[in-house]
Amino acid sequence: MSFPWAKPYEPTHPLMKWMDEKLPIPRLVYNATGPGYPVPRNLNYFWNFGVLAGAALMIQIITGIVLAMHYAANASVAFNSVEHIMRDVNAGWFIRYAHMNGASMFFIVVYLHIFRGLYYGSYKAPREMVWLLGVVIFLLMMATAFMGYVLPWGQMSFWGAQVITGFFSAIPIVGEPVREWLLGGFVPDNATLNRFFSLHYLLPFVILGVIILHIWALHIPGSSNPTGIEVKDEQDTVPFHPYYTAKDGFGVGVFLLIFVALTFFSPNTLGHADNYIPANSLSTPAHIVPEWYFLPFYAILKAFTFNFLWIDAKLWGVIAMFASIALLFFLPWLDSSPIKSSNYRPLYRIFFWILVADVLLLGFCGMQPAEQPYVILSQLGAIYYFAHFLVILPIVSRIERPLPMPNSITEAVLAKHATDTSSASATA
């Protein structure tokens, strides 16, 4: 366990003692999310998003298992089986809309979780492994979400599968055979739908496994915190339970309120009308657009329009799109600054917010047709995206002069309260 003052698990009830000797699961839970896990006392609300992502995954797994009881993964009936769920299954419309919007909520909280990590330097030593596993989870989520979107077998399902598996055909020589192997045919069809269903059911449990590793790796150094200063003594921490279980409970409440508002009052806002048209391989929709959570990457893909060197534009786009995620694996080594929190990094902080704006811009461009000015905007956005991680960040972390930092978490907390009370008495 991480800190010497962590409260030890001491079962008193004979049954719990017996259990602890045979299979110490209660001990594991106690030390992982109970009073046995000391956590910095100064975490802000951005530290809620890990738990929220876990809650979102559980919602997806539960609603997904129920949906799979009624869904039929066959190209001739898949579309109608979804409508059967919407119309005839008891509360099927709720389960299906919850699963559909649950995916969006999952991505919202994971994106906030990732940007929290970027702002507060959570990817830095000693937490590189936590970050790397997080990127693996993100990639698995993207694969799962993509395959899930194919299952209703609407027009956007079909054409999305066509476009995304088409990326592989950009690879020279082996590309086309690889694509046919992935699809199990020349176009998305029954073989594709069946394997996507199988993998869509499998991957969430793989994600669950990697999440366990992610939390395990986190518990070795312990959670980071908004100051980026490592925990020094017991004063700096509070036990996870009840302090953060209570705070996360409130976070889950707010999360569920937003989730429920979306699911019940506006369930189709984040979807596409075209996906209520059954898949038709002979009719291409006017605009093929992925789900919103893929839009920034889709914009990067489309930004490459020039055959540069011996690589054609399509392959550039595909490589760049994969690279835009893969570079996150190298982030702990691209940023050499020892300061974690951007609160003390005046220069990096500016570029961080530019990156946030840039990703939003790319997302906006991703849903537009291939017309000006959206093409040039996504090109500029993609330039900044790569420049940020591969050029600016390594340079900034070398030349930046950090702001003065407190000596410990407790000092930072007490200093904050001192200014709060003095400004409060000044206004009074």
Partner 1 sequence: MVRPLGFLVGLGFITALVLAIFTTPLSNEANVAHEFHKHPRHLKLASDGIVLPHWDKAQLQRGMQVYKEVCSACHSLNLVAFRNIADLGYTEGQIKTFAKGFQVPSINPDTGEPATRDGLPSDYFPSPYANETAARAANNNALPPDLSLITKAREGGKDYVYSLLTGYQNPPANLPAELKPGTGLHYNPYFANLNLAMAPPLAKGQVTFADGSPNDVKNMAADVTAFLVWTAEPKLIKRIQVGYAVFFFLLIFTVLTYLSYRNIWADKKH
Q: Where along the sequence are the contacts to partner 1 (CB under 8 A)?
A: 41-43, 80, 83, 86-87, 93-94, 97, 238, 242-243, 246-247, 249-250, 252-254, 256-257, 260-261, 263-265, 267-268, 273-274, 276-277, 286, 303-306, 308, 313, 316, 320, 323, 327, 330, 333-334, 336, 371-373, 375-376, 379-380, 382-383, 386-387, 389-391, 394, 413-414, 417
Burial of 404 (0-12, 13-18, 19+ CB in 10 A): exposed
Helix (H) or strand (E) holding 38: strand 38-40
Residue closer to partner 1, measured from CB, 27 or 351: 351
CB neighbour list of residue 381: distance below 8 Å, 6 or more residues apart: 299, 300, 303, 358, 361, 362, 365
**Shortest distance in whole angstroms from residue 207 CB to partner 1:** 26
336 CA to centre of own chain: 24
| Cα separation values, 38 from 31, 122, 233, 410, 426, Å | 9, 17, 10, 14, 36
**Residue 223 appears among annotated catalytic residues:** yes
Least CB distance to partner 1 at residue 17 (A): 28
* Residue 230 to residue 222: CA distance in whole angstroms: 9
Residue 205 or 308: the one with the smaller Cβ distance to partner 1 is 308
Q: Which of 7, 70, 84, 219 is catalytic?
A: 219
CB 332 within 8 A of CB 125: yes
Establish whether 340 is a catalytic residue: no
Smallest gap from residue 117 Cβ to partner 1 (A): 18
8 Å CB contact between 378 and 362:
yes
Residue 304: CB minimum distance to partner 1, A: 6
Nearer to partner 1, 81 or 169 (CB): 81
Query: In the complex, what is the shortest distance from the CB of residue 136 to partner 1, in angstroms, rounded to a whole number?
Result: 18
Can you tell me whether residue 338 is helix, strand or coil? coil
Of 236, 274, 291, 358, the catalytic one is 291
Nearer to partner 1, 350 or 395 (CB): 395
Beta bridge mates, 308 = 311
CB atoms within 10 A of CB 395: 11
How many helical (H) and strand (E) elements, i.e. helices and strands, does the chain have?
Answer: 17, 2
291 is catalytic: yes
Termini Cα distance of the chain? 46
The least distance separating partner 1 from the CB of residue 348, rounded to whole angstroms, comes to: 15
Q: Cβ distance 288 to 304 under 8 Å?
A: no
The CB-based long-range contact list for 187-191 (8 Å cut-off, 24+ gap) reads 187/162, 187/281, 188/150, 188/158, 188/161, 188/162, 188/279, 188/281, 189/75, 190/74, 190/75, 190/76
Which residues touch 253 (CB under 8 Å, ≥6 apart)? none
Q: Which is nearer to partner 1, 98 or 183 (CB)?
A: 98
List the alpha helices (DSSP H) in 282-373.
Answer: 295-303, 313-326, 331-334, 346-366
User: Does residue 124 carry a catalytic annotation?
Assistant: no
- Shortest Å distance, C-beta 27 to partner 1: 23
- Cite the DSSP H helix spans in 120-233: 128-150, 155-166, 175-183, 190-219
Name the residue nearer to partner 1 (CB basis): 209 or 249: 249
**What is the rounded distance in angstroms from the CA atom of residue 103 to the CA atom of residue 204?**
12
From 200, 236, 241, 248, the catalytic residue: 248
Active site residue 248: yes
Residue with Cβ nearer partner 1 (184 or 394): 394
Catalytic residue among 157, 223, 224, 341: 223
Cβ neighbourhood burial of 426 (10 Å; 0-12, 13-18, 19+): exposed
Distance of closest approach, residue 275 Cβ to partner 1, in angstroms: 8
Closer to partner 1 by Cβ: residue 190 or 379: 379
Tell me the catalytic residues.
Answer: 219, 223, 247-248, 291
